[in-house]
Amino acid sequence: MAYNACNAIIVQSDAELSAAEAHGMATGMLCVNEQTESELWLAELLHYSNSVPDENKYVLVRLFEETRRLLGSDEFEFDLFLPEDDAPLTEQVEALKGWCRGFLLGVSSAGAAAKWPKEARDILKDIAEFTKLDADAEGDEDEHALMEITEYLRSAVLLLRDELGRNDDSNELWQE
């Protein structure tokens, strides 16, 4: 699925988010509850707007369901939905910051973060810090740093999915 095409749909819908933020939100919601329905995400994303054509909603639902599939895969296929590598580095950094904001929004929709394991809370703190990255990035060093942060986030998301998506009555690890 092409980032720019999906971003255009979201911008046209007046969602006040980018495709990266929307994907982050979907990912956060699915990390906490893998059974989250796409309708809930769309409602949050579009604020119950009826002005979005059905074909655009279909594209967004496909993005959500593909995110669910990739998060559940044992093949480490999940990736952040960000602009292509040939996009300006500042655009990529802004998108990453937006993805992190969206992720935190999605995770917070579940509440009860105080009951989550310390490791999960620490990862969420890291993600919150990534929302403060300097977008004035340029050069190989910044490009490499962006790549490292993206890889960290990929791994962190899968760890959080495993930690936060657990059934409450089946684990004692949640209690500290």
Architecture in CATH for domain 3-170:
Up-down Bundle (1.20)
Better-predicted residue by pLDDT, 48 or 4 = 4
Query: Helix/strand/coil (H, E, C) string of the chain?
Result: CCHHHHHHHHHHCCCCCCHHHHHHHHHHHHHHCCCCCHHHHHHHHHCCCCCCCHHHHHHHHHHHHHHHHHHHCCCCCCCCCCCCCCCCHHHHHHHHHHHHHHHHHHHHCCCCHHHCCHHHHHHHHHHHHHCCCCCCCCHHHHHHHHHHHHHHHHHHHHHHHHHHCCCHHHCCCCCC
The predicted-structure confidence for 67-85, as pLDDT tens digits, reads as follows 999 999 888 889 999 999 8
- Which sequence spans correspond to the domains of the chain? 3-170
Predicted TM-score (pTM) of the model is 0.88
The predicted-structure confidence for 94-153, as pLDDT tens digits, reads as follows 999 999 999 999 998 866 666 788 888 899 999 999 999 988 888 888 899 999 999 999
Q: What is the pLDDT of residue 147?
A: 93
Contact 83, 3 (CB under 8 A): yes
